[in-house]
């Protein structure tokens, strides 16, 4: 299978503290790959290096075979950060129209995609509402819509369902699996164990290191566990 994202011996530090330590990963086309770990484990730093926002102190990151950071690859991925990068004084429609124009979608394409992504995140009725009046959960959903507006080949989502109710969270995961079936590669960071079960493969991150990586079922089978939480606790103890 084709590797869409490749991390070769990635390490990164802030000041003198190493946040990411010698990580190697290959993420394949058309899979949902989960980065599972608690807050502060290094997940966000890792995805920022995948997008080219940060450059690793050591090692190399390749996206679609091109070394990051690369302006050429920006139009091929969508990134949803933990903090909502939205214009609060604009409506949802105006936000999405702006983001669509950045990716050079024409007026007709923007109109169509705005309708599609807003339906996906169940915000169609709030399309012309000013974003500063949105709840926190609504802003997260709009941020997801913005990441999907240009139909990217790769989607990188940093804690995408924080603050979203369980019913809508399931709906979003259903949509992610439909995108995966179309060949889109999806990378999701999470600290929620049941979300990790929905991924095709996982890398468990603790203190900046990958402590285990495989499919959820194989990870559980390796240690005869019944839950991903048991697996994480097992490997967390083994590597401490």
- The boundaries of the domain holding residue 93 are 32-44+75-238
Neighbours of 151 (CB within 10 A): 16
Confirm whether 108 is domain-assigned.
yes
CATH at residue 181: 3.40.50.300
* Residues 6+ away with beta carbon under 8 Å from 27: 3, 4, 5, 6, 33, 185, 187
Q: Which of 7-11, 51-55, 173-177, 178-182 has the highest mean pLDDT?
A: 7-11
Neighbours of 153 (CB within 10 A): 19
Confirm whether 4 is domain-assigned.
no
| DSSP run (H or E) holding 51 | helix 43-51
Give dist(CA 9, CA 17) in Å, integer: 17
| DSSP run (H or E) holding 63 | strand 58-63
Give dist(CA 38, CA 138) in Å, integer: 24
User: Total domain count for the chain?
Assistant: 1
Write the DSSP symbol of residue 81.
Answer: -
The whole-number average pLDDT for the span 203-227 is 94
The whole-number average pLDDT for the span 101-122 is 94
Six token digits for residue 42: 């290094």
Confirm whether 60 is domain-assigned.
no
Confirm whether 52 is domain-assigned.
no
**Which pLDDT belongs to residue 224?**
94
The whole-number average pLDDT for the span 3-9 is 95
Confirm whether 66 is domain-assigned.
no
């Amino acid at each position: 299978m084709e590797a869409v994202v490749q991390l070769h011996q990635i390490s990164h530090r802030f000041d003198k503290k190493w946040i990411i330590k010698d990580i190697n990963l290959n993420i394949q086309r058309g899979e949902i790959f989960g980065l599972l770990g608690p807050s502060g484990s290094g997940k966000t730093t890792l995805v920022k290096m995948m997008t080219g926002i940060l450059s690793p102190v050591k090692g190399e990151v390749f996206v679609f075979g091109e070394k990051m950071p690369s302006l050429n690859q920006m139009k091929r991925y969508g990134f949803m950060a933990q903090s909502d990068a939205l214009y609060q004084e604009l409506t949802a429609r105006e936000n999405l129209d702006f983001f669509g124009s950045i990716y050079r979608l024409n007026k007709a394409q923007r109109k169509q995609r705005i309708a599609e992504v807003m339906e996906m995140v169940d915000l169609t009725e709030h399309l012309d509402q000013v974003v500063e009046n949105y709840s926190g959960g609504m802003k997260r959903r709009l941020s997801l819509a913005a990441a999907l507006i240009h139909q990217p080949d790769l989607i990188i989502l940093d804690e995408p369902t924080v603050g979203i109710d369980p019913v809508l969270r399931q709906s979003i995961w259903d949509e992610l699996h439909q995108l995966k079936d179309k060949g889109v590669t999806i990378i999701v960071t999470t600290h929620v164990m049941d979300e990790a079960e929905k991924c095709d493969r996982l890398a468990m991150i603790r203190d900046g290191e990958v402590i285990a990586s495989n499919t959820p079922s194989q990870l559980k089978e390796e240690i005869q566990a019944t839950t991903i939480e048991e697996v994480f606790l097992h490997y967390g103890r083994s590597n401490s």
